[in-house]
Structure 1
Amino acid sequence: MKQDEPIVDMITRFTDIINGLKGFDRKFTNGELVSKVIRSLSEDWNSLRMLIENKKDVNTYPLEELYGTLMTYELNNTDTKEKTRRSKEEMKEPPKKQIALKSTNDEGSSNTNMSDEELYDLVLLVKKWRDF
């Protein structure tokens, strides 16, 4: 199995190789096929490999059931890795800047005489409010 290769791709490659060998009249028992799949798993799969080898009889463990177990493990493991990655990214994310406007107490002034800085602050406030 290649590093970071999806299990479905590995199973497809394995099946193609086995079917090619069967074309040369090479016969495999179910136990041989299960053993070959388990041996070909990368180091990321060590925990599942040990569990299967210790809890299941490799000679009677159906190949299709092994495929299902591998796909389920990959799906669960991918979800866990993604959640961990997202939480790490959130921790690295700098705090968001707070926007504050200056208040003035001129009752006679009109809103059309805003400085560029005040107008920029107002635009940021409106954008922030819209995203809120």
Structure 2
Amino acid sequence: MDSEENIEIMSDWFSTIVNELKGFVEVISENKLLRKLIYSLLESWKSKKTMIIEAKSLKTLKLNNLEKLIGSLLTHEMISKGKKEENKENNVVLKSSSY
């Protein structure tokens, strides 16, 4: 994941890469694909990555859970952006003047 990318762009790239590998008859386990996706998240996603890893055994995750995982990441991203924008709106700069 690049710092300029959002989850939607990252998941599109991920799907493209996985599909191209299938075209070369490269079989990668579902578990490994999900782990690669989770570990490719940026450092700023560290708390979310930790929550996913601790909440679910990565050995039991299946690729059909990929859509749920991406949905969860998109939701987290939207909430995070909303909080940042809310904080920007609440920041008021007051200029003092002397008379």
**1:52 and 2:55 correspond:** no
Gaps of 5+ in 2: none
The aligned residue for residue 93 of structure 2 is 92
Deviations 1:23-56 (A, max 9, x none): 1101122211110001100011100000111110
Identify if the C-alpha distance between structure 1 residues 48 and 94 changes in structure 2 by more than 3 Å, giving closer, same or farther. Answer: same
TM-score (norm 1): 0.65
TM-score (norm 2): 0.85
Alignment RMSD: 1.5
Higher relative contact order (CA 8 A, sep 6+): 2
Larger radius of gyration: 1
Conservation of the 8 A alpha-carbon contact between 1:2 and 1:42: yes
Runs of 4+ aligned residues of structure 1 deviating over 3 Å after TM superposition are none
Shift of 1:92: 1.8
CA distance in 2, matches of 1:33, 1:57: 14
Residue identity over aligned pairs, in percent, reads 33
Give the aligned length. 93
Gaps of 5+ in 1: 96-132
